[in-house]
Amino acid sequence: MALDGHTPGGPLAEKWDRHRFDLKLVNPANKRKHTLIVVGTGLAGASAAATLAELGYHVKSFCIQDSPRRAHSIAAQGGINAAKNYQNDGDSVYRLFYDTIKGGDYRAREANVYRLAQESVNIIDQCVAQGVPFAREYGGTLSNRSFGGAQVSRTFYARGQTGQQLLLGAYGALMRQVHAGKVELYPRHEMLDLVVVDGHARGIVTRDLTTGKMESHVADAVLLCTGGYGNAFFLSTNAKGCNVTASWRAHRRGAYFANPCYTQIHPTCIPVAGGFQAKLTLMSESLRNDGRVWVPANKGDGRTPEQIPDGERDYYLERRYPSFGNLVPRDVASRAAKQACDEGRGVGATSRAVYLDFADAIRQDGEATIRQKYGNLFQMYEEITDEDPYRTPMRIYPAVHYTMGGLWVDYNLMSNLPGLFVLGEANFSDHGANRLGASALMQGLSDGYFVIPYTLGGYVAGTPLPEINTSHPAFVDAEKQAQGRLDALLAVDGSRTVDDFHRELGLLLWDHCGMARNASGLTQAGERVREIRDEFWQNVTVSGSTGELNQALERAGRVADFMEFAETMIQDALSRDESCGGHFREEHQTEEGEARRDDENFAHVAAWEFAGVGQESVLHKETLEFQNVALTQRSYK
Amino acid sequence: MSVSTSRDGRGGDCGCPRAASQEGDGAGGAERRQNAMSVRLRVWRQRDPQDKGGFEEYDAPRLTPDMSFLEMLDVVNEDLQREGQEPIAFDSDCREGICGMCCLVIDGVPHGPGRGTTTCQIYMRSFVDGATITVEPWRARAFPVLRDLIVDRSAFDRIIGAGGYNSVNTGSAPDANATLISQARAEEAFDAAACIGCGACVATCKNASAMLFVSAKMKHLNMLPQGKPERRERTVAMLKAMDDEGFGHCTNEYECEIVCPKEISVEHIAFLNREFLRSQVITTGLRPAVTEE
């Protein structure tokens, strides 16, 4: 079945304006009568909850952390893009749009991306008014840097903590509305199910993580702002608590999951050090502005980096991509690192790392300049690895970082289930098959501050929403199922821990659905996922009870959902028989080892409908139409 | 139960073999890292807020110096679960020192050994092989223990709700470059804005004062032009909220600055005191209510 993205008509630059005019408005006096549920308090969730409450809606905001300020947007380092063209260097809304479409390897919806570029300028204004301390020039104007393969300087940043400062701005706005009584805040609450009544999303079932109490919440619309699924891989740069449960539970209730095979593997992370490791740490991409990536030219070169003369080093990014060099997009840089290591030229104890070397930059600009630019990152690197990057090159390796796929949404950010909206990383919409650096913060805030306030109003104003309460059979049933699932997890009483299963699943996905995939590997992995899942339900051990603070139980529920989700991810990767962006099918590459797209057969969004655990999901395609940009092979040479 | 803290109690710049590893090559470093170590843990266990709680001891064998402290706890928890026991409950999330969720008092010091780091950024190389390590939750009346090492820090959220923002609705902002802010001022505001809201300042303070936390947010906003219109109201409201939540007052011990993972300076507290005095002068009518702001 073909899916309709409900993209408005008219020229690209006028679509959003026209659409905003066409959307119905909610009478201001009626807004407070509408309760809206916002799950997640990252950039998308906090900005949406605050803005909707400012407009007068009654908002309930949920998060699994102890405070909304902890959501993982807080960890974003590099910056946020905006087409302000403050640097007068040729940027424009159209250029940001074009770069984002191209960077996504032509697998995103044109109209959404254009709107994102348009709203980007408003985000910066809003955040500065909130007091976000962006970097400034001596004259007092805002400073920009070039980032993530862009050839203009459009990235606004706050040291290496841009995500933190943007989130604290949105969190402040949210807490202001909580204080004013417009938002009811539910920290340490986890959404365990979506409640659908007569085909409309009308509420959620949650578990109070402190007491274990199961609760139902009714609303006129539900907004999922619950982030990505990167932790399916166990090791990632995500926070420990990041999970797919809210999205997956909505998927099981009918929401389509789009492009789950698109995962961004970030090229500059600290390599895995041992089997006990709980997470991977990102080293900001901005380091590639001054660091040079290299491996020894010869296989199995056991010398220390200092002992290897320049002539015996291979600066492979500079060699392969002379015009972009070390600044090629993330997917390209990651793949090149993997290839170098596969060739036996990796470095460090595990041989799964490449050097990121600042020696030339230090020689050129002085250690003080480098310290000023990257001091906090260098310090973090030294704390983790016990090595001093001012003296010896950093060792880096790609790691799972961001997921471009997510629940399918139309132009209004509404899923195929009426009343269920999905914002930020949790939706699939704007980054295609590869996200550019400094674009995630932009999308989260664009969705929350500037898109949803309009499109949600259009839905609420134009949809009859009969009054219901939590005694409705759909709520009673959903609550019973959620409780039953927790009881089932506790009842297994096996001998392997949740983390043990999670590690095995993660490693399997990393090996077969990571930086490179092929049909036979994916097929095997699919079978293996089913086996691991079966064993999980027969042999997992979860201690404690449901009626208390029980972290083992929380993790068990999330990992159980990752096990179901992983199969859909693999199915999508298998069915997308082309290479594009972060999805690299080894069967489809150019002679030089670059990704080869198949626009004739795969210029579509693959949206999967749940058909039961272990059942093949049903594919729905949304054809991507490119009326403004010509599809070309991405070239960074 | 009181938490005693002293500079002497911090083992951050201990004699771990850092210098040696810089000379050695990658392989030598790896060899050193594989040298197993073990520690004994004395951990606070408390079933729920009503439970009296107490210390229990656990062995943590088969460790490596490159493990983080929380990864060590993960390993201990895995073992406990395999033995059918309940794991130690503790908070953590980003594990890269920015979300502010992790909060352990290690050997009497919030966030343990090491200056300017969170609990999650502490590595086992900071401890000696065979050491006994005491692990406790934050202790403060305003941060009740929920379970084991997990506390309720929602009081901080309520303080922010009282005034930790600029009241600017979405959509009503002027162009971002319309207000010029000197680089020095922006940097100074950032130094204050870097607070991650972990609450270590409260946990280490004998008065359980939240002055460092409150002053950081207040200074971040009050010193920027965008924050000026609400300067007075913010000051009064945030301090009132702080008092209402049961945090104590500052008696200038400066322990908060020492344990702060973001090295927030106590100078912000002086700023807060000035702002408070200023707000009182204005509200008591000694000066006209409308000033240069």
Domains contained in chain A, CATH given: 12-211+224-262+404-462 (3.50.50.60), 267-401 (3.90.700.10), 473-598 (1.20.58.100)
Contact B71 A277 (CB under 8 A): yes
Measured between alpha carbons, how far apart are the two ends of chain B, in Å? 46
Chain B partners of A554 at a C-beta cutoff of 8 Å?
Answer: none
DSSP readout, B152-190? --HHHHHHHHHHSS----TT-PPPTTSS---HHHHHHHH
SS3 content of chain B, % helix, strand, coil (to 5): 40, 15, 45
* Whole-prediction pTM: 0.94
d(CA B112, CA B68): 12
Give the lowest-confidence range in A177-181, A246-250, A381-385: A381-385
Query: What is the biggest distance separating any 2 CA atoms in chain B, rounded to whole angstroms?
Result: 71
Q: For the residues B46-74, what does the mean pLDDT come to?
A: 96
pLDDT value of position B281? 82
pLDDT value of position B87? 97
State the residue for tokens 């949404």.
A409
Instruction: Give yes or no for residue A56 having a pLDDT over 50.
Output: yes
For A408, phi and psi rounded to 5 degrees? -70, 135
pLDDT bucket at B8, cuts 50 / 70 / 90: very low
**Which residues in chain B (46-75) have CB-CB distances under 8 A to chain A?**
47-48, 64-68, 70-71, 74-75
The candidate with the shortest Cα–Cα distance to A492, out of A547, A550, A533, is A533
pLDDT bucket at A349, cuts 50 / 70 / 90: confident
Q: For the residues B149-164, what does the mean pLDDT come to?
A: 98
Radius of gyration of chain A (CA): 24
Instruction: Give yes or no for residue A380 having a pLDDT over 90.
Output: no
Q: Are A212 and A202 in contact (CB under 8 A)?
A: no
Name which residue leads in pLDDT, A276 or B235: B235
Residue A331: CA atoms inside 13 Å, Cβ hemisphere, count?
32
pLDDT bucket at B32, cuts 50 / 70 / 90: very low
For chain B, the domains span 7-146, 153-283
Whole-number Cα distances in Å, A182 to A33, A56, A173, A460, B153: 11, 7, 12, 18, 21
Q: Are B103 and B119 in contact (CB under 8 A)?
A: yes
Instruction: Give yes or no for residue B33 having a pLDDT over 60.
Output: no
Q: For the residues A223-249, what does the mean pLDDT come to?
A: 98
Contact B166 A129 (CB under 8 A): yes
List A568's β-bridge partners, or say none.
none
d(CA A167, CA A225): 13
Q: For the residues A489-512, what does the mean pLDDT come to?
A: 97
Q: For the residues A479-495, what does the mean pLDDT come to?
A: 97
Q: Which of B94, B185, B196, B238 to mutate to test the interface with A (most CBs of A within 10 A)?
A: B94
The candidate with the shortest Cα–Cα distance to A186, out of A33, A32, A39, A36, is A39
Whole-number Cα distances in Å, A533 to A46, A214, A537, A561: 34, 26, 6, 10
Q: Are A87 and A153 in contact (CB under 8 A)?
A: yes
Q: For the residues B67-80, what does the mean pLDDT come to?
A: 96
Strands A263-269 and A292-296: unpaired
DSSP readout, A106-137? S-S-HHHHHHHHHHHHHHHHHHHHHT----B-
d(CA A486, CA A208): 13
d(CA A395, CA B29): 13
pLDDT bucket at B15, cuts 50 / 70 / 90: very low
pLDDT bucket at A72, cuts 50 / 70 / 90: very high
pLDDT bucket at B280, cuts 50 / 70 / 90: confident
pLDDT value of position B19? 33
pLDDT value of position B11? 33
| Tens-place pLDDT, residues A561-577 | 999 999 999 999 999 99
A214 Cβ partners below 8 Å, 6+ apart?
A192, A205, A206, A207, A208, A479, A482, A483
Instruction: Give yes or no for residue A295 having a pLDDT over 60.
Output: yes
Domain B153-283, CATH: 1.10.1060.10
Q: For the residues B263-286, what does the mean pLDDT come to?
A: 87
H or E element that contains B214: helix B211-222
To the nearest whole angstrom, how far is the Cα of B273 from the nearest Cα of chain A?
21
Chain B contact for A170 (CB, 8 A cutoff): no
pLDDT bucket at B7, cuts 50 / 70 / 90: very low
d(CA A245, CA A190): 9
SS (H, E, C) A362-429: HHHHCHHHHHHHHHHHHHHHHHHHCCCCCCCCEEEEEEEEEECCEECCCCCCECCCCCEEECHHHECC
pLDDT value of position B31? 40
pLDDT value of position A7? 97
Across A484-582, where does the E strand assignment appear?
none
Chain A contact for B35 (CB, 8 A cutoff): no
Contact B174 A388 (CB under 8 A): no
Chain A contact for B181 (CB, 8 A cutoff): yes
Residue percentage of chain B with pLDDT more than 90: 81
Measured between alpha carbons, how far apart are the two ends of chain A, in Å? 39
Instruction: Give yes or no for residue B287 having a pLDDT over 80.
Output: no
Of B22, B92, B161, the CB nearest to A391: B22
Residue percentage of chain A with pLDDT more than 70: 100
d(CA B175, CA A444): 20
pLDDT value of position B26? 37
**Which residues in chain A (295-314) have CB-CB distances under 8 A to chain B?**
302-304
pLDDT value of position B285? 59
Length of chain B (residues) = 293
Chain A contact for B145 (CB, 8 A cutoff): no
Instruction: Give yes or no for residue B238 having a pLDDT over 50.
Output: yes
pLDDT value of position B288? 52
Q: What mean pLDDT value characterizes chain A?
A: 96
Instruction: Give yes or no for residue B4 having a pLDDT over 70.
Output: no
For A386, phi and psi rounded to 5 degrees? 65, 25
3-state secondary structure of A269: strand
pLDDT bucket at B1, cuts 50 / 70 / 90: very low
Q: How many CB atoms lie within 10 A of CB A18?
A: 13
A602 Cβ partners below 8 Å, 6+ apart?
A576, A577, A578, A580
Tell me the angle at which helices B154-163 and B231-244 cross, rounded to the nearest 10 degrees. Answer: 150
Domain B7-146, CATH: 3.10.20.30
Chain B partners of A125 at a C-beta cutoff of 8 Å?
Answer: 173-176
pLDDT value of position A593? 83
Chain A contact for B18 (CB, 8 A cutoff): yes
Instruction: Give yes or no for residue A132 having a pLDDT over 50.
Output: yes
Instruction: Give yes or no for residue A415 having a pLDDT over 90.
Output: yes
Q: What's the token pair of residue B62?
A: 């088969």
Can you say whether the dihedral through the CA atoms of A134, A138, A141, A143 is positive or negative?
A: negative
Tell me the angle at which helices B231-244 and B267-283 cross, rounded to the nearest 10 degrees. Answer: 110
Q: For the residues A312-338, what does the mean pLDDT come to?
A: 93
Whole-number Cα distances in Å, B167 to B55, B160, B170: 46, 12, 10
pLDDT value of position A635? 78
| Tens-place pLDDT, residues A188-204 | 999 999 999 999 999 99
d(CA A250, CA A256): 9
